[in-house]
């Protein structure tokens, strides 16, 4: 089964416990993503890796009651969360793996993804399948992280890069995870092989203001696989790195470095 490691990871009920804290970080990308996707009333939209559905509902607000939005995610836990929240009749949520599944409701005028395209274990197959769901003149638009250095909210990844142990889901032989699609040239090569045109890119420097414990706690780091014997050291490093971003009100102005690519199918 495709993407089995990611399916298991994101089906863990612990994702739900942390997701309300994590969503405010990722939601900053919704506005630029939807603006670049150039949504219009009446369009059919597929939201890839919809998570808790915030971006899906935002897209539905743009396409209006005459449009339709399908939010697809391979995690039943995430789909359950999305369905537990208010959403308009124009939205349908679907537990599916867009790497290989046929998605009803298409063909789609727009396919969007808010940090959902970086987890495919066969990205070319996934992009090819998405391309098969696009209507003529349709586009794929996705938000991805620029890189680890500019994204302090990913403390477990930063600590792993310094030699702290971190357990990760199986990768299937290709880069997966938050920063897997930070390399523009590599992403472009995947899209071209899958039948898309060369993508255009835009970069955004965003800020999320939050409490320190929204960025790093012992529970977060342990769950991410940081060595329990080094947890105090890890927390100390993380808090030291975050301290320069703390304001007079005690809040952390956490930088978020995002990039959005857009591409139609190749002619």
pLDDT (tens digit per residue) in 117-144: 998 989 999 999 999 999 999 999 999 9
Range of the domain at 39: 4-151+167-206+257-264
Helices in the chain by DSSP H: which ranges?
Answer: 4-10, 14-26, 30-37, 54-63, 76-84, 123-132, 155-161, 184-193, 218-223, 231-242
Residue 243 within a domain? no
- Please list the residues that pair with 160 across neighbouring strands: none
- Residues 6 or more apart whose CB falls under 8 angstroms from that of 180 comprise 118, 119, 174
pLDDT at 48: 98
pLDDT at 171: 47
What's the pTM value of the predicted model, to 2 decimals?
Answer: 0.88
And the tokens for 251?
């809040």
And the tokens for 57?
């509902």
What region does 225 belong to: left with phi over 0, alpha with psi -120 to 50, or beta?
left
Residue 234 within a domain? no
Q: Is 41 helix (H, G, I), strand (E, B) or coil?
A: coil
Q: What CATH number has the domain bearing residue 58?
A: 3.40.50.150
Residue 156 within a domain? no
* Rounded CA Rg of the chain: 18
Whole-angstrom CA distances from 161 to 156, 157, 223 are 9, 6, 17
Mean pLDDT in residue range 53-75: 97
pLDDT at 169: 47
68-73: strand order across its sheet: 91-95, 68-73, 44-48, 108-114, 134-145, 252-264, 200-210
- Whether 69 contacts 82, CB under 8 Å: no
Residue 58 within a domain? yes
- Is the pLDDT higher at 40 or at 220? 40
pLDDT band at 3 (very low <50, low <70, confident <90, very high): low
Round to whole Å and give the CA distance between 130 and 126: 6
pLDDT at 173: 58
And the tokens for 9?
């990871």
Nearest residue to 37 via CA among 114, 125, 107, 136: 114
Residue 230 within a domain? no
Residue 96 within a domain? yes
Interval 6-62: pLDDT, tens: 556 665 666 667 777 789 999 999 999 999 999 999 999 999 999 999 999 999 999
Neighbour-count burial for 232-262, b at 16+ CB within 10 Å, e otherwise: eebbebbeeebeebeeeeeebebebbbbbbb
pLDDT at 73: 96
Residue 251 within a domain? no
Tally the domains of the chain: 1
Residue 218 within a domain? no
């Amino acid at each position: 089964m495709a993407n089995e490691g990611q399916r298991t990871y994101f089906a863990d009920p612990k994702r739900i416990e942390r997701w309300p804290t994590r969503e405010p970080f990722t939601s900053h990308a919704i506005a630029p993503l939807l603006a670049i996707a150039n949504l219009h009333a009446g369009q059919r939209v597929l939201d890839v890796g919809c998570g808790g559905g915030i971006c899906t509902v935002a897209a539905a607000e743009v396409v209006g009651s005459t449009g339709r939005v399908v939010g697809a995610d391979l995690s039943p836990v995430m789909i359950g969360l999305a369905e537990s929240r208010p959403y308009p009749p124009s939205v349908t949520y679907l537990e599916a793996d867009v790497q290989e599944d046929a998605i009803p409701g298409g063909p789609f005028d727009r396919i969007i993804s808010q940090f959902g395209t970086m987890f495919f274990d066969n990205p070319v197959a996934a992009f090819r399948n998405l391309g098969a769901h696009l209507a003529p003149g349709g586009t794929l638009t996705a938000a991805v992280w620029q890189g680890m250095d500019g994204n302090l909210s990913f403390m477990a990844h930063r600590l792993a890069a310094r030699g702290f142990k971190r357990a990760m889901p199986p990768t299937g032989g290709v880069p997966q995870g938050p920063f897997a699609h930070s390399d523009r040239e590599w992403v472009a090569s995947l899209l071209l092989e899958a039948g898309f045109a060369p993508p255009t890119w835009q970069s955004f420097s965003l800020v999320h203001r939050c409490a320190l414990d929204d960025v790093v706690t012992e529970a977060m780091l342990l769950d991410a696989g940081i060595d329990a014997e080094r947890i105090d050291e890890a927390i100390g490093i993380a808090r030291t790195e975050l301290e320069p971003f703390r304001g007079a009100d005690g809040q952390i102005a956490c930088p978020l470095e995002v990039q959005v690519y857009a591409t139609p199918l190749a002619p």
